[in-house]
Amino acid sequence: MSTIAVLGAGKIGEALLSGLLHAGRAPESLLFTERHPERAADLTERYGIASTEVPEAAKRADVLVVAVKPQDIEPVLDQLAPLVGPGSLVVSLCAGLPTALYESRLAEGTPVVRVMPNTPMLVNEAMSAISPGRHATAEHVRTVEELLSSVGKVLVLPESQQDAVTALSGSGPAYFFYLVEAMIDAGILLGLPRAVAEQLIVQSAVGAAKMLNESAEHPVLLREAVTSPAGTTINGIRELEKHGVRAALLDAIEAARDRSVELGRPHQQG
Ligand SMILES: NC(=O)C1=CN([C@@H]2O[C@H](COP(=O)(O)OP(=O)(O)OC[C@H]3O[C@@H](n4cnc5c(N)ncnc54)[C@H](OP(=O)(O)O)[C@@H]3O)[C@@H](O)[C@H]2O)C=CC1
Ligand SMILES: O=C(O)[C@@H]1CCC=N1
């Protein structure tokens, strides 16, 4: 079995490690690197996965998954440059960073695949979009697809769509959590105990997600089925429209896309 090293086991790095273990991968086939020894020790204790340093990971692993913040990429590239080449596979989870950045800094021919996953990886429900770089073959794409389909759904898309993907599915879970949080607050406002409001909204979110996933109907029709003539829902919808919630979502997702572009800008070639 191939060895996978996650460089930077923060929130998404840990979600990937945990998701892979959950999917049945052996802890011995995984490695990670972390800056803080206490964090590394805690992860090893919880998951039984060994930590190491970036150069050692580059030597031992077949697949190197880069999961540091985009702002922290430079020292990682410096450490990887003398050690990785066409025989390795570099998988970048970093928002905004183009495959061309890795290709320009690592040995000629190093295969790089850019991925935008999301944290529902923790519960095997990730949405990941993957885009091969210049030297990644169909076999490399298959390897990454296989890896990520063990923790959720995968789409292969052109790299030119990755900033939009980052805004939609990379950041998307945060917007759903934000809505749930606000709806629980509404329950409190209406006098419900917090635990009751939480249960009502979380189960409604789970049910709505399941219907979206399992029904062939468009979301508009699913919403219309809840909206009875002269009923309660249409009164709520009118307020959402008055407050421009649809426009706010369009602006929010566009702003997230713009930030992804900005994160990659210092690294644009030419
Ligand atoms: N969180 C999410 O939902 C998603 C995140 N991503 C991408 O994943 C990447 C990580 O994001 P996220 O997990 O949220 O961020 P975190 O800050 O939680 O994780 C990054 C981790 O990498 C560590 N780190 C930084 N530099 C090094 C290094 N040289 N060697 C080893 N470890 C290092 C950081 O340590 P320290 O604490 O010291 O900074 C931190 O623990 C980003 O590029 C982001 O764009 C992609 C999809 C979804
Ligand atoms: O907020 C971020 O920058 C990362 C990328 C997508 C989700 N989290």
Q: Could you read off the pLDDT of 33-53 as tens digits, one per residue?
A: 999 999 999 999 999 999 999
User: Mean pLDDT over residues 173-192, rounded?
Assistant: 98
pLDDT of res. 266:
81
Q: 217: CA distance to ligand 1 center in Å?
A: 37
CA of 164 to the centre of ligand 2 (A): 12
What integer pLDDT is reported at residue 262 of this predicted model?
96
Q: Is the CB of 171 under 6 A from ligand 2?
A: yes
Q: Which atom of ligand 2 is nearest to the CA of 259?
A: 3
Rounded-to-integer distance, Cα 7 and Cα 32, Å: 6
Can you tell me the mean pLDDT for 127-134? 98
Cα angle 44, 47, 51 (rounded to 5 degrees) comes to: 35
Q: Which domains does the chain have, with CATH numbers?
A: 4-162 (3.40.50.720), 172-260 (1.10.3730.10)
The percent of residues in the chain predicted with pLDDT above 70, rounded, is: 99
If you average pLDDT over residues 93-99, what whole number do you get? Answer: 98
Contact 17, 49 (CB under 8 A): yes
Q: What is the mean pLDDT of residues 113-136?
A: 97
Strands (DSSP E) along 23-175, which ranges? 30-33, 50-51, 63-66, 89-92, 112-116, 126-132, 152-156
Beta bridge partners of 183: none
CB burial of 146-158 (b: ≥16 within 10 Å; e: otherwise) equals ebbebbbebeeee
pLDDT of residue 57: 96
CB 208 within 8 A of CB 233: no
Atom 8 of ligand 2, residue of closest alpha carbon = 171
* Residue in the block written with tokens 């990429």: 73
245: pLDDT strictly greater than 60: yes
Mean pLDDT over each residue of the chain, to the nearest integer: 96
User: Looking at residue 47, what is its pLDDT?
Assistant: 97
- Beta carbon of 19 within 6 Å of any ligand 1 atom: no
247-257: per-residue pLDDT in tens? Answer: 999 999 999 99
What is the predicted pLDDT for the residue at 51? Answer: 97
Q: What is the pLDDT of residue 234?
A: 98
Q: What is the rounded CA–CA span in Å between residue 38 and residue 159?
A: 36
Task: Tell me the ipTM for this assembly.
Answer: 0.98
If one counts every other C-beta atom within 10 angstroms of the C-beta of residue 105, the result is 16
Q: Which residue has the higher pLDDT, 270 or 111?
A: 111
pLDDT value, residue 145: 97
| 76-87 per-position pLDDT tens digit | 999 999 999 999
Annotated binding residue 68: yes
Kindly state if the Cβ of 55 falls inside 6 Å of ligand 1. no
User: For residue 125, what are its two tokens?
Assistant: 């429900």
Residue 269 has pLDDT above 80, yes or no: no
pTM of the model: 0.96
- The ligand minimizing its distance to the Cα of 129 is 1
pLDDT above 60: residue 270: no
Task: State the average pLDDT over residues 211-227.
Answer: 95
Report percent pLDDT > 90 for the chain: 96
Residue 93 CA, ligand 1 centroid: distance in Å: 9
State how far the Cα of 235 lies from the Cα of 231, in Å rounded to an integer: 7
pLDDT, residue 1, reads 72
